[in-house]
Amino acid sequence: MEILQERLDREYNVGIIATAPSVEYKIFKTNGEIEFVSNPTMMPDRSTIEKIEEPYIEATVFIPNEYIGNLMELCQSKRGIYISLEALDDKRSKIVYELPLSETILDFFDKMKSYTKGFASFEYELIGYKESDLVKVDILLNGEKVDAFSIIAHKDKAYEHARELCIKLKDEIPRQNFEIPVQATIGGKIIARETIKAYRKDVTAKLYGGDVTRRQKLLKKQKAGKKRMKKIGSIEVPQEAFLNILKTNTDQKNKK
C-alpha cells in the first residue's frame, strides 16, 4: 500500500487518501426499498432501516494439526460459524468456516499465516448475504466529523473498534497549540474518547522574582488564547494516519 501511494505521488503527482477496504451491505428499509451501500457515509438513517445484511464467504483452510486450535480461535474472533473439520492424513486437516467478508478482507490472511507460522493455505467462495446487527461508527476531530474514518461494524465489536480508532488517531495526529478531542459516536452518542494534549509554552519564562499577579495574568491570557484557537483551528490529518488506521487490530495478540 505504502509503495503504491508513493509511486502515484512521485511519478504521477496524484495525491490520494487511503481508506479501509469495504464490502457492499444490503439495506432493507422500512418503506420496502432495498439499497446496497459500500460507503459508511451513504448509510441511511437508522430509523429508516428494517434490517441489514452483509456478504458471507465459505472459507476452507488446510492446516497442520498442531495449529487447529489457533485457527479456530482466529475464526471465532472474526464472527466465524464453524461448519466442519476433516482429517486429511495424520498431519494435516481441512477446516471449513462461514465468515463475514468484512472480517476477512483486511487482515485475515496475514493473521492466519501468523497464527500457523505460515503453514496454512486458504481458499474461499461467496455464499450470499446474512442478517447482522450492524451500526455506523463516526469519528469526530475537534467536533467535526471525518468521513474517511467512518466505519460499519458489528454492534458487539463497535466499542472495541471505536476505542482502537481513537487511540490510533491520538498517537498519529500531531499535537497543536490547543487540545483536540477525538470522539467516536454511534447515532450521535459518544462511545469512546481520547484527547490530544496541547503544546504548552512557558509564557512565564521571562518573569523574574515573585510577581504572582503578573504570572497569573499571563497564564489566564494563554488559556483564553487557546480557547479561541480551538474554536477556529483546523486539524490536519497526515496521510500516515490514514495508512495506520488500515492496520487497526482489535483482535488479541497474535499467537507466536
Q: Write out pLDDT tens, residues 207-254.
A: 555 566 766 665 566 555 545 444 444 676 766 666 666 655 444 444
Q: What fold characterizes domain 135-246?
A: Alpha-Beta Plaits (3.30.70)
What is the pTM assigned to this prediction?
0.74
Q: Does domain 2-132 have CATH number 3.40.430.10?
A: no
Would you state the pLDDT for residue 70? 95
Would you state the pLDDT for residue 212? 63
Would you state the pLDDT for residue 173? 84
Domain boundaries along the sequence of the chain: 2-132, 135-246
Residue with cell 504521477: 12
Tell me, yes or no, if the two domains 2-132 and 135-246 fold the same way.
Answer: yes
Closest residue by Cα to residue 184 from 210, 157, 149, 214? 149
**Cell for 50?**
428494517
State how far the Cα of 81 lies from the Cα of 130, in Å rounded to an integer.
12
pLDDT tens, per residue, the chain with 256 residues: 667 777 877 888 876 766 667 899 999 999 999 999 999 989 999 899 999 999 999 999 999 999 999 999 999 999 999 999 999 999 999 999 999 999 998 889 989 999 999 999 999 999 999 999 999 999 999 888 988 889 999 999 999 999 998 998 888 888 877 788 999 999 889 999 999 887 765 545 555 555 667 666 655 665 555 454 444 446 767 666 666 666 554 444 444 4
Q: Which residues pair with 27 in a beta bridge?
A: 35, 52
